Chains A and B, each alone.
Chain A
């Protein structure tokens, strides 16, 4: 009887402790009703994304500006190009868990390095929008495409390209995802973002990517960008200097 009382006492203590711990960890400000946090791989290390918990917290004044000059900072359409998929924060977080963490997708900060270095969305790599505006065989394009799983094609003769284009509809030459210079067959899914609904950097990147031949259906556009990310109390991370991969002369 004494032993049973001891056992019951221990169980009660464990139960109470568990309830207390659970209560201490419960967040007041979740992501969704069923989602407290998301963990994303940020340059090889796990980063836990959790919303700001202080109800009095407000976004930095610089991110609260309402009226930047347009042009150049004009409102951007939700869909920069027909066929590109527009996403919101929850889709970005899903993408982090399902694609970024498994290496199947990339979250791309399309801004100039100076913006990136002031803070980026966790899980992002920086490929400035200017990179995809270069000629298809530029060194930076090749470097960026390597990250995106795009392969360089060996010299393709004019006759073969002509045949590929002629018979594209029948896919006789397995050329649906190929251009003269690049093979996009294994290209990763990408989410591109920049500063917010007034920022043209990622829309430019998207348009140039498509011009280079990137499959439309693998491109997603997070229009809300850093502004909405911050307004919703989601965290940014100041990147390590050695994660800057591309230099942009004059606009770094």
Chain B
């Protein structure tokens, strides 16, 4: 069995290190781009729907964040409507921009669609079909 020399091992580790750094740098760049989009389009100021004051204040649910989730092609199940909107805005900002244009009834319909199937393609299809009406 061929032995790896110390020099070769160092090179291998350096290569892995560089790949890790560049992957992190790409993620930082994507994050900066997303923030700049929000600044440009002002979509961060989507109006909050007026909600009636509850008799008892519900326990605040942690907002689902895309950070470190290993993003795939959909959202996790069982998010509240609020968490769903936050997750959409955080992870699929383009789709969120279209969602934000819907009225309250249509937004509820998109949320219902998410509860049936959390795949982003399904959520996007529902959003765009409602927008086209």
* B-binding residues in A (CB < 8 A): 62-63, 68-69, 72-73, 111-118, 130, 133, 200-201, 241-242, 244, 247-252
How many Å lie between the Cα of A244 and that of B121 in the bound state? Answer: 11
A252–B40 CB distance below 8 A = no
A241–B131 CB distance below 8 A = yes
Given contacts A249-B71, A249-B72, A252-B92, contact A114 B120 (CB under 8 A): no
Given contacts A68-B36, A114-B97, A115-B37, contact A248 B30 (CB under 8 A): yes
Digit string of B58-93 for contact with A (CB within 8 Å is 1, else 0)?
000000001000011100000000000000000111
Partner of B37, one of A72, A112, A130, A242: A112
Given contacts A117-B94, A241-B131, A242-B128, contact A251 B40 (CB under 8 A): no
Partner of B124, one of A69, A201, A241, A250: A241
A244–B94 CB distance below 8 A = yes
Given contacts A72-B29, A73-B32, A241-B131, contact A114 B94 (CB under 8 A): yes
B37–A73 CB distance below 8 A = no
Extra contacts, 8 of them, besides A115-B40, A118-B41 (Cβ < 8 A), are A112-B30, A117-B94, A200-B29, A201-B33, A247-B92, A248-B30, A250-B71, A252-B95
Given contacts A114-B94, A252-B93, contact A247 B120 (CB under 8 A): yes
B91–A249 CB distance below 8 A = yes
Min C-beta distance of B77 to chain A, whole Å: 18
Prevailing SS type, chain B contact patch? helix
Interface size class of B (residues with CB under 8 A): 20 to 34
Partner of B39, one of A62, A111, A116, A248: A62
| Nearest B residue to A111, CB-CB | B33
Nearest 8 Cβ contacts at the A-B interface: A251-B30, A249-B71, A241-B128, A114-B94, A113-B94, A252-B94, A62-B40, A114-B93
| Nearest B residue to A112, CB-CB | B33
Digit string of B38-51 for contact with A (CB within 8 Å is 1, else 0)?
01111000000000
| Nearest A residue to B127, CB-CB | A241
Q: Is B122 an interface residue (CB 8 A)?
A: no
Q: What chain B residues lie within 8 Å of A114 (beta carbons)? A: 34, 37, 41, 93-94, 97
A117–B36 CB distance below 8 A = no
Q: Is B116 an interface residue (CB 8 A)?
A: no
Q: What chain B residues lie within 8 Å of A252 (beta carbons)? A: 34, 91-95
Q: What chain A residues lie within 8 Å of B93 (beta carbons)? A: 114, 251-252
| Nearest B residue to A201, CB-CB | B33
Q: What chain B residues lie within 8 Å of A251 (beta carbons)? A: 30-31, 33-34, 93
21 A-B pairs in the complex with CB atoms less than 8 angstroms apart = A62-B42, A68-B36, A69-B32, A72-B33, A111-B33, A112-B33, A113-B94, A114-B93, A114-B97, A115-B33, A115-B37, A133-B26, A200-B29, A241-B98, A241-B131, A249-B72, A249-B73, A250-B66, A251-B34, A252-B92, A252-B95
Q: What chain B residues lie within 8 Å of A118 (beta carbons)? A: 37, 40-41, 97
| Nearest B residue to A60, CB-CB | B40
Most buried by A among B27, B30, B41: B30
Min C-beta distance of B40 to chain A, whole Å: 4
Q: What chain A residues lie within 8 Å of B39 (beta carbons)? A: 62
